[in-house]
Amino acid sequence: MTTTTDALSVLKGMYAAEAEYFAAGGPGKASFASLAPFFSPDVVLHQADGLPYGGIWRGHEGMERFFVAMSGTWDVFDMLDQSFLSETDPLVILTHVHVRARATGRELDFPILQTITVADGRITEVRPFYWDTAAIAAACTNYHSADDRLPRS
């Protein structure tokens, strides 16, 4: 069983390692090995299907592929502010992010609410919740919304 303090330490350590990973160039330039110790070998990450990197990512290989997909989607992914809303299992974190889509150059600011489960000193499950997945997906395409694709009368 992981204590609250241990769970927060694991999570904050992972965020620091993630920042270093991306600062070093991310996938293809930095090693996932610095992040791996923070994740259980059978970790499960659930991303909303409507996102460019949507789906369920499993294990260390899945997490590594997820980071490749995120890096391919976003040229900038800055965590501007984080609030730890629950420090008991699962942890609940509200993060405000600023992103710039690699394919379009469009920028967005939006919140992500995550539940993160930690057991035996490692992250076992991550469930991020987005307010508007359609806006996020649209920022990564040539269209702002479904309405933009329709002819105007």
Q: 99-145: per-residue pLDDT in tens?
A: 999 899 999 999 999 999 999 999 999 999 999 999 999 999 875 44
| Euclidean distance between CA atoms 150 and 50, whole angstroms | 20
Cβ neighbours of residue 59 closer than 8 Å, sequence gap 6 or more: 41, 42, 43
Residue type, 38: F
At 19, the pLDDT band (50, 70, 90 cuts) reads confident
Contacts of 136 (CB under 8 A, 6+ apart): 51, 99, 108, 110, 130
Is the pLDDT assigned to residue 41 strictly greater than 80? yes
Distance CA 99, CA 106 (A): 8
The burial class, CB within 10 Å (0-12 / 13-18 / 19+), for 5 is exposed
* Count of structural domains, the chain: 1
The answer to the question of residue 150 being in a domain is no
Report yes or no: 91 and 15 within 8 Å, Cβ to Cβ: no
pLDDT higher than threshold 70 for residue 55: yes
C-beta separation of 110 from 97 below 8 A: yes
Identify the CA nearest to 49 among candidates 124, 145, 136, 150: 136
Give the pLDDT mean for 69-88.
88
Residue 148 lies in a domain: no
Of the candidates 118, 113, 117, the residue with the CA atom closest to the CA atom of residue 128 = 113
The CATH number of whichever domain residue 128 belongs to comes to 3.10.450.50
Residue 149 clears pLDDT 50, i.e. is over it? no
Q: Is residue 129 part of a domain?
A: yes
* Mean pLDDT of the chain, nearest integer: 86
Considering the entire predicted model, what is its pTM? Answer: 0.84
149 falls within a domain = no
Q: Supply the pLDDT for residue 136.
A: 93
| Burial tier of 90 (Cβ tally within 10 Å: 0-12, 13-18, 19+) | middle
Question: Mean of the pLDDT values across residues 21-29?
Answer: 77
Domain assignment of residue 55, given as a range: 4-141
DSSP 8-state symbol, 30: B
Query: Has residue 146 been placed in a domain?
Result: no
> Is the pLDDT confidence value at 98 over 80?
yes
